[in-house]
A and B are shown apart, each in its own frame.
Chain A
Amino acid sequence: QKEVEQDPGPLSVPEGAIVSLNCTYSNSAFQYFMWYRQYSRKGPELLMYTYSSGNKEDGRFTAQVDKSSKYISLFIRDSQPSDSATYLCAMKGSYDKVIFGPGTSLSVIP
């Protein structure tokens, strides 16, 4: 079993839709959970960062962490064509290496 699993998509939604991206993980030592957005041929850009369980909201983005289920989500409200990218979940324990999911390719259609 991979440490972090994520549906690779591709996911295609109409502009304005709510997008739900999810990851599951197996290592209960993970405490820090991150979502990155990566455009083609660019380095990943940090979107959201959450410590332990709970919700965090930043503009149109909401990150949720459920440690009991080992499940994290990223919601994008009012999706825009500029949101089209690959979204990577990532997680780590304290002082540990960052482990990435395989990424979900998202296309928002105007």
Chain B
Amino acid sequence: GAVVSQHPSWVICKSGTSVKIECRSLDFQATTMFWYRQFPKQSLMLMATSNEGSKATYEQGVEKDKFLINHASLTLSTLTVTSAHPEDSSFYICSAISITGVTEAFFGQGTRLTVV
């Protein structure tokens, strides 16, 4: 299947700092990438839909100024958690759909963020 690479796989940061997470589609072009958040023993919660070359669409309740998403190319989307706080500690996962728009979604490995 298609490969989506997410980096870093884990990160620890101090409260108040910003953290950038990268999501790359390695062997296909992705016009659309999704960012999810997952708390322990809970399902994936969609945070935002990222379309190449345009502003991301955020789900209700997700602060767009706190979770900055950039989808600058067909193979790369980034999520920046700004001024992170301990309650932002979570598992963040990206997924990508190929440029055809009608295939299944492939997931990155996830990033475990811990804010101390």
Contact = CB atoms under 8 A, between A and B. Distances in A.
Contacts of B43: 88, 100-103
B32 interface: yes
A98 interface: yes
A49 B108 contact: no
A42 B26 CA distance: 19
B46 interface: yes
A46 interface: yes
B64 to A, nearest CB: 16
B101 interface: yes
Interface of B: 1, 6, 32, 34, 36, 41-44, 46, 49, 91, 93, 95, 97, 101-110, 112
A106 interface: no
B109 A43 contact: yes
Interface string A72-103: 00000000000000001010101101111111
A42 B44 CA distance: 12
Contacts of B32: 95, 97
B104 A46 contact: yes
